[in-house]
Structure 1
Amino acid sequence: MNEEQHLQALEAFSRHYRYDTGYLKEFLNGSPEGFEKFADFQPLATHREFLPLDIFWVSKLAAMQVADCGECLQLNVRMALEAGIEKSIVQACLQGGSRLPENLKDIFDFATSVASYRNIDPLLEQRIDAQLDQRQRIELGVCVATASVYPTIKRAMGYTQSCSLVEIEFAA
């Protein structure tokens, strides 16, 4: 894509998700070559081949809460709802995961631990092993790892935002 096409795509994304892409436009303007490489990375952040949809989004929302508590989390809430995740699941994630079904609670706790670089409780590790195969664990790792990229870039560029309330309503 050329710069104009990237700008058009950012504008469309911004309108659709009600998300401020100003930092991405600044990135594009300041380093077109760097932005092009970043754009090539973006499909990895949404890659889902083996994980069930609910596990993917619970993992993404858990990891995003570790990395960011503002606009990026809100964006992911909107994307999860648009993907068909039940509002009650999204709400439970935003409330720390305690009201999730047991299997998803384990996923939430696991993703949070991975994103936080904490040791994984051995019993949780066993339950995750029983729930996910190696391909799914790899994919969950990619899901968690990529969640931090956007907030990290924003933070480095000085776009730090304080915590804000996250809305659950989203009409696609």
Structure 2
Amino acid sequence: MIRYAFNKMLLTFKHRYNYDVGYQQDILKADLGAFLKFMGLQTMSAHSGELPVGPLFAARIRAIIWDDCGPCTQLVVNMALEAKLEPGLVRALIDRDMPNLPADIALVVRFTEQVLAHNPEADDLREHIRALWGDKGLIALGFAISSYRVYPALKYALGYGKACSRIQVNESFLTPNRESALVEGVKGV
């Protein structure tokens, strides 16, 4: 009965976001205990603390693009749009168009990429993050950066990884520039 209820929840999510939940259904079918642990990850990744929606989705989008440029990224973009993030801002995050990002969001993009690159320059940026949003904001960003990377890794491990695809933001289509994030993030930009 519990599997039925969880599967119904997954199907609702699938239809809401036009997202393939097959890997989650496979986990549910094979190992209920593992699925319950996966749900804990869902709780962690949904945490926003008191962080404004722009910086929160900046971390989520840039973290997911670091490891994925397909359906997972599209899902996060759809969630950002649903949360009323301006489409132009979402496009700028996907393109990593730093000059067109507000200062606080550009800070989060740089911080996210420095953290993902394990670059010590993240230390200075962390203090700016704390000054803006305190420890609660820093924790929310930490949860976003770390948890959003799990989904593509898990999907690829289970055989559900997809090749890069164009990301739709309302009526426009973009190809995430992962190379820029990977190379520039390592260089400390």
Counterparts in 2 of 1:51-70, with a 5 A limit?
51-70=51-70
1:74 and 2:74 are equivalent in the alignment:
yes
Query: How far apart in 2 are the matches of 1:101 and 1:147?
Result: 22
Structure 1, unpaired ranges of 5+: none
Tell me the TM-score normalised to structure 1 length.
Answer: 0.90
Shift of 1:127: 3.6
- Letter of the 1:70 partner, please give it: G
For the 8 Å contact 2:7–2:25, the answer to whether it is kept is yes
**2:81 maps to amino acid:** L
Aligned residues of 1:97 and 1:108 also touching (Cα < 8 A): no
> Contact between 2:56 and 2:144, CA under 8 Å: does it hold in 1?
yes
Q: Distance in 2 between the 1:125 and 1:36 partners?
A: 32
CA distance in 1, matches of 2:127, 2:137: 15
Measured after TM superposition, the shift of residue 53 of structure 1 is 1.4
Distance in structure 1 (CA, Å) of the matches to 2:124 and 2:49: 27
Tell me how far apart the structure 1 counterparts of residues 131 and 65 of structure 2 sit (CA, whole Å): 25
Identity over the aligned pairs, expressed in percent? 30
1:83-98 matches, cutoff 5 A: 83-98=83-98
CA distance, structure 2, for counterparts of residue 160 and residue 169 of structure 1: 24
Distance 1:81 1:138 in 2: 23
Q: TM-score, normalised by structure 2?
A: 0.83
RMSD, aligned CA: 1.8
Please give the alpha-carbon distance, in whole angstroms, between the structure 1 residues aligned to 2:32 and 2:122. Answer: 43
Aligned to 1:104: 105
Equivalent residue letter for 1:160: G
Q: Name which of structure 1's ranges 125-134 and 46-55 shifts more when overlaid on structure 2.
A: 125-134
User: What is the distance in 2 between the residues matched to 1:125 and 1:140?
Assistant: 10
C-alpha deviations, 1:128-152, integer Å up to 9, x for none?
Answer: 3432312211121111111111111
